[in-house]
Structure 1
Amino acid sequence: MSKLKPGKSPGRDNIHPEFVIHQSTTTSGWLCAFYTSCYQRLKLPKTWRRASVIALPKPNKPAEDPKSYRPISLLCVPFKILERMVHSRIEPVVDSQLPREQAGFRRGRSTADQVTLLCQDIEDSFQDNEKAGVVYLDLTAAYDTVWHRGLHLKLLRTIPDRHMVKFIMETLSNRSFILQTSSGQCSRLRRLKNGVPQGSVLSPMLFNVYIHDLPDTASRKYGYADDLAIMLNRPTWKAMEEGLNEDMGTLVVYLRRWRLQLSVGKSVAAAYHLSTREARRELEVRVDNKCLEVQQAPKYLGVRLDRTLSFKQHLEEVKAKRNTAPQSGAEALMRERSTWLSIPPSEY
């Protein structure tokens, strides 16, 4: 309860965080007893299963396109507290089962760790005079397409407490939502058969469990939740392309087996080499006989990684933001600089 932040929007029950924050000790005891009963009986109030969904616009996307919005679920505050309690119970167990290459929403890990690790591996290939290729994978609506039966199976393999697994699956079952617009209009009630809700504290951890068993590949993997990249370095471009294509085939089979969808149109490939001429090579990485788009400076976890890792384009974008908004842009530039100067050495 102490982690609740005042001013947050309530769920369908219209209970605001302030009500729970300032409640009496007696009321807290009643709430804890109710949580215990829910857990033991594997039952939840119907209101907790219903969410109000608001659509937040993605930056630099056309407003008329429905895909330009990110849905956020407004859950009932008492239910969010219960989810935090479950999260604190299973976090140590789940974290010990996750692979090291997955850094998303884990204690002591950040996006900077993954970007630094990827850059270091590319730099190592430069030192060895090898060719490096990276594929940045884009999963279509990753959280919304999590297959519940598949998640149940993987939770059973990860968490020894079977009753806890049943309770987690109970929190995901019979979910529904109402889409709410900024003008106050609401849609009809819609049922959810799959997926983990955006806005839930449990969702990132559950998604980590869902993809924690990615198949072994020759390429190194760098994951942060649903942001996944694979990197391979070889003495020749041909050997590297063949390796990337083989690994992509392995990953595509895995994703389809677990009903996740790879967006071929949004996934991109990039070549890296100290020689600008060499790095201009158009990699041929195919998925379903379609070549992935090749970009010279793709963005990974908010950082532009150009083909020689000069970061020129990334810094130009940061400067452009500073020019459009002097104060906030300057702060962003300082944060960018401090991030790259203060990252501790990676354990990898």
Structure 2
Amino acid sequence: MFGFREGLCAQDAMLLLKHKVVQSRKVGVVLGLDLKSAFDRVQHSAILERMSELGLGKRSYEYVRSFLTGRSAELVAGEYEVGKRGLGCIGTPQGAVISPMLFNLVMAKVGKRLTREGIGHSIYADDLTLWCVGKGVEETRDTLQRGIDAIEEELAGTGLECSHEKSAYVVVGPRSRRWQDVELRANGGMIPRVKELRVLGLWLQEARGNGVMLDKLQRKVGAAMQMVRRVASRRRGMKEESVLRLVQAFGMSHIAYVAGYLKWGVTEKGKINALIRRIYKAAIGLLACTSTEMMERLGVHNTLEEVIEAQRISQTERLRGSAVGR
């Protein structure tokens, strides 16, 4: 489990997916499993039962029980007022500091079960991802279906259910398009096959290359570029230092988030590097025709390769400080 744990983040789940699936030379199936309104439907009794099983102590148990029970909400809109209504015995309060931890208590047994079953997986809060790589169609189907069944068994009685309508799977790797459909079922319904699947902001696609992810980056960085052009003016705009911070926050952050977790082709790398140069040219007021050599001499930006390397070093150092990372 990666979500809401000290020293771990979504990119660590993406790193695991990279090593297990993206870098593999074999065909694999990645399944994104959705839980119906997870935070709003988890039962308080399941949380308290899990705390009791873990032996977290009477004081902690009573604190959480008091925190969850007897909650009410009141809606006021101008002169109109709706009386207080009880929130019932399901759901964790949105925005509360301990709500993610309470949800993780219920989900923890799911991760342990999948590990015992030997099924590749990552869990980030209510985002469940399963995968199977290098096996035939039938063995892949049996493995992933066993994982789905295990999840449903562990979540029985907690108020949490899988949604086959919002779940999906994608076949990735060489000759993935030739693969026949894998029949997977969740909560009685068939899970559809898609050509691209989003996993924590990372887009995996059936076809070779990363066209979908590249298109997303171009749109996001393009929007940031338009904003930069509106505020960057030599006469009455923001100072260069402030504009460069905007570029980092609203443009480069999107690239850095996914750059190190996909296998980019030479052409794709060239397009991303060109995108980086364009937004920095807009930020410092250079013409679009300014040569790449001159941009590199200025030293105001990092290339995609440098961003990937910096991200790798930073993530490695951070993971060394956590038990899971070690």
TM-score (norm 1): 0.63
1:307 aligns with 2:209: no
Moved segments of 4+, more than 6 Å: none
Write 1 or 2 for the structure with the bigger share of helix: 2
Mapped to 2, the partners of 1:219 and 1:310 lie a distance apart of: 26
Please tell me whether the aligned partners of residues 224 and 251 of structure 2 are also in contact (alpha carbons under 8 angstroms).
no
Q: CA deviation at 1:266?
A: 0.3
Q: Counterpart of 2:83?
A: 188
- What is the root-mean-square deviation in Å for CA atoms of aligned residues? 2.4
Q: CA deviation at 1:167?
A: 1.3
2:172 maps to which of 272, 279, 300 = 272
Please tell me whether the aligned partners of residues 271 and 283 of structure 1 are also in contact (alpha carbons under 8 angstroms).
no
Mapped to 2, the partners of 1:176 and 1:309 lie a distance apart of: 52
Please tell me whether the aligned partners of residues 322 and 328 of structure 1 are also in contact (alpha carbons under 8 angstroms).
no
Summarize the alignment of residues 6-155 of structure 1 with structure 2, pairs less than 5 Å apart. Answer: 102-123=1-22, 125-126=24-25, 129=26, 131-155=27-51
Could you say if the C-alpha distance between residues 187 and 311 of structure 1 is closer, same or farther in structure 2, counting changes exceeding 3 Å? farther
1:125-173 per-residue CA deviation (whole Å, 9 max, x = no partner) reads: 42xx3x3112111111111111111111111223432122111111111
Please tell me whether the aligned partners of residues 177 and 206 of structure 2 are also in contact (alpha carbons under 8 angstroms).
no
- Identical amino acids, percent of aligned pairs: 23
Q: Which amino acid aligns with 2:109?
A: D
5+ residue gaps in structure 2? 229-246, 261-307, 320-324
Q: Counterpart of 1:334?
A: 252
Say which SS state the counterpart of residue 316 (structure 1) adopts. helix
Q: CA deviation at 1:230?
A: 1.0
Mapped to 1, the partners of 2:107 and 2:76 lie a distance apart of: 31
Could you say if the C-alpha distance between residues 180 and 260 of structure 1 is closer, same or farther in structure 2, counting changes exceeding 3 Å? farther
2:129 maps to which of 222, 225, 229 = 229
Summarize the alignment of residues 208-227 of structure 1 with structure 2, pairs less than 5 Å apart. Answer: 208-214=104-110, 215-216=113-114, 217-227=117-127
Summarize the alignment of residues 238-277 of structure 1 with structure 2, pairs less than 5 Å apart. Answer: 238-277=138-177
> Which is greater in Rg?
2
1:89-136 per-residue CA deviation (whole Å, 9 max, x = no partner) reads: xxxxxxxxxxxxx1111121111111121122003542xx3x311211
Mapped to 2, the partners of 1:118 and 1:180 lie a distance apart of: 46
Could you say if the C-alpha distance between residues 200 and 320 of structure 1 is closer, same or farther in structure 2, counting changes exceeding 3 Å? same
Q: Counterpart of 2:182?
A: 283
Mapped to 2, the partners of 1:309 and 1:333 lie a distance apart of: 26
Could you say if the C-alpha distance between residues 167 and 277 of structure 1 is closer, same or farther in structure 2, counting changes exceeding 3 Å? closer
Mapped to 2, the partners of 1:309 and 1:204 lie a distance apart of: 37
Q: Which amino acid aligns with 2:40?
A: D
5+ residue gaps in structure 1? 1-101
Please tell me whether the aligned partners of residues 32 and 129 of structure 2 are also in contact (alpha carbons under 8 angstroms).
yes
Q: CA deviation at 1:297?
A: 1.1
